Structure 1
Amino acid sequence: TKIKDFSFKFYADKKKAEVSLDIEMKDEVFRDAYYNKIWSLEDILKDFIGDFHKEEFYTLENGKVISRIWVEKEGISVFNKNTWREAFEFFVEKMDGFERFYYEYEDFIKDV
């Protein structure tokens, strides 16, 4: 994204897979501004990635508070080879949607 602490991420564990947009700025004013920019495009984002979850104050395992927008797919395990293809297809589809959304609205998002 070329925006510091504003990144797309993949995550998988023994129960699910996730693709997220993590807004991790330490300065709450900037984190809030970027989150609200994305949130103002909610309906458009939904067109790109489908239904999603959002949390303005998401707490990571290490205690750090970030803003996160993500999609997830249950029933996928990194320990089960039978679900790897499904996980890969999910990652490709959702990351592509996030990236297309970002590139389409990049100038608007970056104007903070």
Structure 2
Amino acid sequence: MKKLIVLLVLCLTFSCVNTEKNVLIEGNYIGLIETKDHQQLPFNFKVTSANTLEVYNAEEVIEVNEITYRNDSVYIKMPVFEGYLSAKISNNQTLNGFFIKE
């Protein structure tokens, strides 16, 4: 009887695992980064696939392809800006996080 209860508890535990993977959805977005003096710095970017995006800086287009996902978070290495974005993905459409300068 004890073995049956343990087996049932294990089955319930493994069946409760969230298998949905949060990824960036393709499309155009506007990002806002708050500076140290509390100013908001807007930028435009386009997600072209789950692993690539383009950041628009005036006439310049910066291609980003170093994107990794871990649980509900995304880490986007920004090649020109010497740092990366670390953000939580909410509802596959909202990012909230930090720009971390390296």
TM-score bin (small chain)? under 0.3
Largest Rg, 1 or 2: 2
User: Greater RCO between the two (CA within 8 Å, min separation 6)?
Assistant: 1
Q: What's the TM-score once normalised by structure 2's chain length?
A: 0.25
**Counting helix residues as a fraction of each chain, which structure ranks higher?**
1
